[in-house]
Amino acid sequence: MINFSFDGKTYQAHKGDTLAAALLRNGIGLVGRSFKYHRPRGIMTAGVEEPNALVTIGDGGRSEPNTRATDVFVYEGLVAKSQNRWPNLSFDIGSVFGLAAPALSAGFYYKTFFGSAKRWMFYEYFIRKAAGLGNAPTKTDPDLFSQRAAFCDVLVVGAGPAGLSAALEAAEAGKRVILVEQDNILGASLIRDGQDRDGAWVESTQARIRAAGGRILTRTTASGYWEHDLVTLTQRIAEPGQTPSHGVAQRLWHVRAGQVILATGSIERPMAFAHNDRPGVMLSQAVRTYVRRFGVVPGKRVVIATNNDDAYKTAYALKAAGAEVVAVLDARPAPAGADSGLPVYNNAVPLSTNGARHCLKSVTARVNGLTQSWDADLIAVSGGFTPVVHLHMQAGGTLDWNDAAQAFVPAASRQNVTTIGGAANPEPVFNVVPVSKPKKSFIDFQNDVTLSDVDLAWAEGYRSVEHLKRYTTLGMATDQGKLSNMAALGRLAEKQGVAIPEAGLTTFRPPYTPVTMGLLAGAGAKDAGAHVRRLALYDVHAAKNPIWQPLGYWFRPRAYPVGSETLAQAAMREAKAVRSNVGMTDVSTLAKFEVSGPDAAAFLEIICATTVGKLAVGRGRYTFMLREDGFVFDDGTVWRLDENRYLLTSSTGGADRMATHISYVRQYLCPHLRVSAINVQEHYAGIAVAGPQAKATLSALIGEEPPRHMSTVPAMIAGVPVIILAASYSGERAFEIYVEASHVGPVWAECEAEVSKQGGALYGLEAMEFLRIEKGHLVVGGEVDGRMTPHDLALDKMLNKAGGYVGASGLSRPALSEAGRRQLVGLEAIEGNIPEGAMLITGEGASPHGHVSAAAFRILDGGSIALGQLTDGFARHGEELIATSPTRGQMARVRVVAPHFYDTAGERYRD
């Protein structure tokens, strides 16, 4: 015996019970309240199509709302709670006062949304309270989710008789086979209806498939069919709410299959009659499943309503289990076959039921035009069979109409998929047109849509099935119309006076059954989806407890506060150290490419818009790159390390984009060049040392005269070979030290010791930003925002006059270099501090003439300064403007100046 609880009360289940079976075993008929009208609902099915018996399973972060009681297997300690009721399931205010019913007829949402916003605001509060499913958990899910790929020759979906046979045949033919079954045991219809193949056949088939190398996954649903025969499977390793044994609760499989065989069977249809939604109304095959598989008989006096032969098996099963079958209402006009020994009524359809909250009391039917009633506590209904064509349709397939079965069956597909078994050949049925009152005749139980709602939609002009769906909410929510779509379609076709296939179908979209969001996030669910890229020196920085700054996937130190320093205080102290003494920082993330070969310079003159070929060995220069349309793309430096070997650096943020661009130009546009361009971004860790004492620091480190500005030399630090580039972003004499990342530790330690000996400091990104703004250096993504040409940034004098670079022809368009464009300017505050991102205006109410791209303070002298883009900015130096940021509520009066606030002559670079 297994103990579980439902709404706080403890019950016992048998091993192998679904929660639905266990509830029925304990005589619980009322399981939930309906979505809109709060009508009492019980268990209608024995499968994933269950629309009514939705419960919340588990506690805290592990709780899973809207779980179908038919799709969870009871484990020791399972906690289930009913939903959408208050104060409790049996006494629910919403239903007692009938509060919801008059307000929420078909099209309610439509009409409300199209009405005034006020009306929606008024209704929203009540709707949110009254209509709904379970509550989403508010705590973090403690479980892990795994994602795994698999490849196979044949993927078989569904382990009924057809699926098992197909999987066996393929596996024994030597193919890689995966067989998936959403149930926790194999057999599907065989579990219910032994037929000619019994449990032993299932066992031996399973063993043979495994022996032939086939993989069998149970509790696994093929939930999505995507392009090129990719099928996603959702596998439950632990049951909903259950603590998984190794942390992983569910696994999402990506299966790329050579061929997909769908043996997905069919779903039995309900019938539309008044009060067909109360506890005690069940599908016929579900009743049989409870009787035969679980040994639970859900009623003592049973009425059967059918339009086909299959339901007779239910009658026999019930009789064999000791229940009384009081009537078999067969819609067909004449008896089917020999005397069944059952009280069969032909030309008989149910009209209505009577009952209490928890149970059914009687069934009324029309038999040969006359009304007749039976006392009964269960009605088993079979309105025919709907093939499960969801995956076939997701794969882009088409359907045929099978008139005998009154069902759509799979036809052609552009993917390699076939459907076999019951899903391809549903049983013949007799078409029944509903005759009972449409008002309480439910067709979509989950969304509380009745025949009269379809009629109303029709009356209000909604003709297409897609409109009907949106107007009535039919076919939405967790069951996605598995039971309801055909009934609605039948009614719509009847209204249109056409055959069902002409009425159209709604689109089948993944997933087939609901998928937990965490499963889609996979392992990344715990840290927002993406891995953090760590610097080689991560541990060294972390030990100093810096303020971290995410930069793409990277995390870089933003500042290293000392004591109780704020970010701004720490950054200003660090920046001052650079201006007055020496500072060092980690610049490892910069994009770096090593370009070698006889055509290296020629190649770089295609990538870069500046000249490269004239660089002497050991020299470097600033460079920038253009997009094909002539706008600035990125910038960096280029260094000639050797006769035929160059190092190109560019921005961190654009590193991947630049790698792709370089590869495209080299391989697609210039396949004949003798050049090798290798991405060495992560190969080299980088350390920048900057400040008036940088040269002395470097001398001490390398034991020789450091290279002059824009020169490079190889050297040794701490016994490790390094490359020294004398380049400055801060505006001070500065050096970048590049070293193989795996050996950066001792180099950093020695640099830090030397900087410390000089009385200098480490600096982070914030100080670097202050320094470069004051110096007027650009940042890609800031001043270089994709809308600026070299002329706008005053870089045009550096352009390679010979052309030939990417973007040269785009840039030759006259509009890209004309006067009056947005141009780079400096701004200094006359009054107030300049807000970053502010608009630049001439006066109140005026249109913006530009914006502030970066703001800072003069490091040694104080005062608010900024860089910005201003219409016709070059010609407006000296003009006064207002920099206003309404969103920050900040404003400053500014004067337009040249974008260089510090050492405009560039003397500090040089010795």
Partner 1 sequence: MMQFTCPHCGPRDQAEFIYERTVDAVVSLDAAPEEAMKSLFTRNNPRGVDEEIWRHTYGCRAWMVIARNRVTNEISATRAVGPEALP
Partner 2 sequence: MTDVTITMLPAAPLHALEIWSNPASVATRFKETAGFALPAMGRSDGNDALLLIRYEPTVWLVEGDMSALPGILADDGALTAIGGSVVRVQLSGKGWRTLLMEGGIFDAENPNFASGCSAATIIDHVNVRLHVVDDDTCHAYVPLSYSEAMIHFWKTAALNLTL
Considering the rule CB under 8 A, would residue 524 count as an interface residue with partner 1?
A: no
SS (H, E, C) 318-329: HHHCCCEEEEEE
Q: How far is the CB of 580 from partner 1 (least distance, A)?
A: 45
Helix (H, G, I), strand (E, B) or coil at 215: strand
SS (H, E, C) 499-552: CHHHHCCCCCCCCCCCCCHHHHHHHHHHHCCCCCECCCCHHHHHCCCCEEEEEC
Candidates 505-513, 604-612, 676-684, 702-710: pick the segment binding partner 2 (CB under 8 A).
676-684
By a kind-dependent CB cut-off of 5 to 8 A, residue 668 interacts, out of partner 1, partner 2, none, with partner 1
Q: Give residue 640's identity as a one-letter amino acid code.
A: R
Helix (H, G, I), strand (E, B) or coil at 18: strand
Query: 646 Cβ partners below 8 Å, 6+ apart?
Result: 594, 595, 596, 600, 601, 604, 612, 615, 638, 639, 640
Question: Of 1, 200, 227, 862, which lies in the binding site for partner 1, with binding defined by CB under 8 A?
Answer: 227
By a kind-dependent CB cut-off of 5 to 8 A, residue 398 interacts, out of partner 1, partner 2, none, with none
- Which of these, 707, 802, 804, 699, lies nearest to 754 by C-alpha position? 699
Question: Of 6, 75, 624, 684, which lies in the binding site for partner 2, with binding defined by CB under 8 A?
Answer: 684
Q: Give residue 641's identity as a one-letter amino acid code.
A: L
Report d(CA 896, CA 182) in Å as an integer: 69
C-alpha angle 609-633-673 in degrees, rounded to nearest 5: 50
The alpha carbon of residue 564 and the mean position of all alpha carbons in its chain are separated, in whole angstroms, by 41
Considering the rule CB under 8 A, would residue 629 count as an interface residue with partner 1?
A: yes
Candidates 110-118, 391-399, 518-526, 790-798: pick the segment binding partner 2 (CB under 8 A).
518-526
Considering the rule CB under 8 A, would residue 597 count as an interface residue with partner 2?
A: yes
Candidates 90-98, 321-329, 593-601, 610-618: pick the segment binding partner 2 (CB under 8 A).
593-601
Residues in the chain: 911
Q: In what order do the strands lie in the sheet with 301-306?
A: 281-283, 378-382, 301-306, 324-330, 344-346
Q: Which of residues 340-359 bind partner 2 (CB under 8 A)?
A: none
By a kind-dependent CB cut-off of 5 to 8 A, residue 804 interacts, out of partner 1, partner 2, none, with partner 1
254 or 361: CB nearest partner 2: 254
Considering the rule CB under 8 A, would residue 226 count as an interface residue with partner 1?
A: yes
Considering the rule CB under 8 A, would residue 664 count as an interface residue with partner 1?
A: yes
Query: 770 Cβ partners below 8 Å, 6+ apart?
Result: 571, 572, 575, 856, 857, 859
Question: Of 66, 289, 436, 596, which lies in the binding site for partner 2, with binding defined by CB under 8 A?
Answer: 596
- Which of these, 363, 377, 355, lies nearest to 329 by C-alpha position? 363
Considering the rule CB under 8 A, would residue 247 count as an interface residue with partner 2?
A: yes
Candidates 496-504, 531-539, 809-817, 846-854: pick the segment binding partner 2 (CB under 8 A).
531-539
Question: Of 414, 439, 534, 614, which lies in the binding site for partner 2, with binding defined by CB under 8 A?
Answer: 534
Residues 604 and 594: beta-carbon distance below 8 Å: no
Candidates 305-313, 401-409, 607-615, 737-745: pick the segment binding partner 2 (CB under 8 A).
737-745
Question: Of 194, 428, 504, 524, which lies in the binding site for partner 2, with binding defined by CB under 8 A?
Answer: 524
237 or 291: CB nearest partner 2: 237
Tell me the sheet residues that pair with 56. Answer: 81
**Both structure tokens of 599:** 């055509």
H-type alpha helices, 321-387: none
Considering the rule CB under 8 A, would residue 669 count as an interface residue with partner 1?
A: yes
Burial class (CB in 10 A: 0-12, 13-18, 19+), 453: buried
Residues 527 and 534: beta-carbon distance below 8 Å: no
Residues 774 and 865: beta-carbon distance below 8 Å: yes
Question: Of 300, 531, 787, 813, which lies in the binding site for partner 1, with binding defined by CB under 8 A?
Answer: 813
129 or 534: CB nearest partner 2: 534
Q: How far is the CB of 155 from partner 1 (least distance, A)?
A: 14
The alpha carbon of residue 329 and the mean position of all alpha carbons in its chain are separated, in whole angstroms, by 48
Residues 118 and 59: beta-carbon distance below 8 Å: no
Handedness of CA 154, 158, 162, 168 (dihedral sign): positive
Burial class (CB in 10 A: 0-12, 13-18, 19+), 910: exposed
The half-sphere exposure of 643 on its side-chain side, counting CA atoms within 13 A, is 1
Site mask, partner 1, residues 236-275, x = CB under 8 A? ------------------x-x-------------------
Site mask, partner 1, residues 374-403, x = CB under 8 A? ----------------------x-------
218 or 425: CB nearest partner 2: 218
Considering the rule CB under 8 A, would residue 810 count as an interface residue with partner 1?
A: yes
522 or 832: CB nearest partner 1: 522
Question: Of 129, 139, 148, 614, which lies in the binding site for partner 2, with binding defined by CB under 8 A?
Answer: 148
Residues 83 and 54: beta-carbon distance below 8 Å: yes
227 or 907: CB nearest partner 1: 227
Question: Of 297, 388, 429, 685, which lies in the binding site for partner 2, with binding defined by CB under 8 A?
Answer: 685
Considering the rule CB under 8 A, would residue 660 count as an interface residue with partner 1?
A: yes
Considering the rule CB under 8 A, would residue 121 count as an interface residue with partner 2?
A: no
688 or 806: CB nearest partner 1: 806
By a kind-dependent CB cut-off of 5 to 8 A, residue 530 interacts, out of partner 2, partner 1, none, with partner 2
Question: Of 136, 207, 435, 523, which lies in the binding site for partner 2, with binding defined by CB under 8 A?
Answer: 523
**Both structure tokens of 8:** 């706080």
Q: Which of residues 637-666 bind partner 2 (CB under 8 A)?
A: 644-645
H-type alpha helices, 598-689: 600-607, 655-663
Report d(CA 132, CA 139) in Å as an integer: 20
Q: Which residue has the tokens 């969001």?
A: 517
Residues 92 and 34: beta-carbon distance below 8 Å: no
Q: How far is the CB of 628 from partner 1 (least distance, A)?
A: 5
Considering the rule CB under 8 A, would residue 700 count as an interface residue with partner 2?
A: no
597 or 745: CB nearest partner 1: 597
Report d(CA 664, CA 628) in Å as an integer: 12
Report d(CA 499, CA 406) in Å as an integer: 10
Q: How far is the CB of 149 from partner 2 (least distance, A)?
A: 5
Question: Of 708, 743, 893, 900, which lies in the binding site for partner 2, with binding defined by CB under 8 A?
Answer: 743
178 or 778: CB nearest partner 1: 178
In the complex, which residues of this chain contact partner 1 (CB under 8 A)?
A: 149, 226-230, 254, 256, 396, 414, 606, 628-629, 660, 663-664, 667-672, 804, 806, 809-810, 812-813
In the complex, which residues of this chain contact partner 2 (CB under 8 A)?
A: 144, 146-151, 237, 245-248, 251, 254, 256, 522-524, 530-536, 538, 553-554, 594, 596-598, 644-645, 673-676, 678-685, 739-743
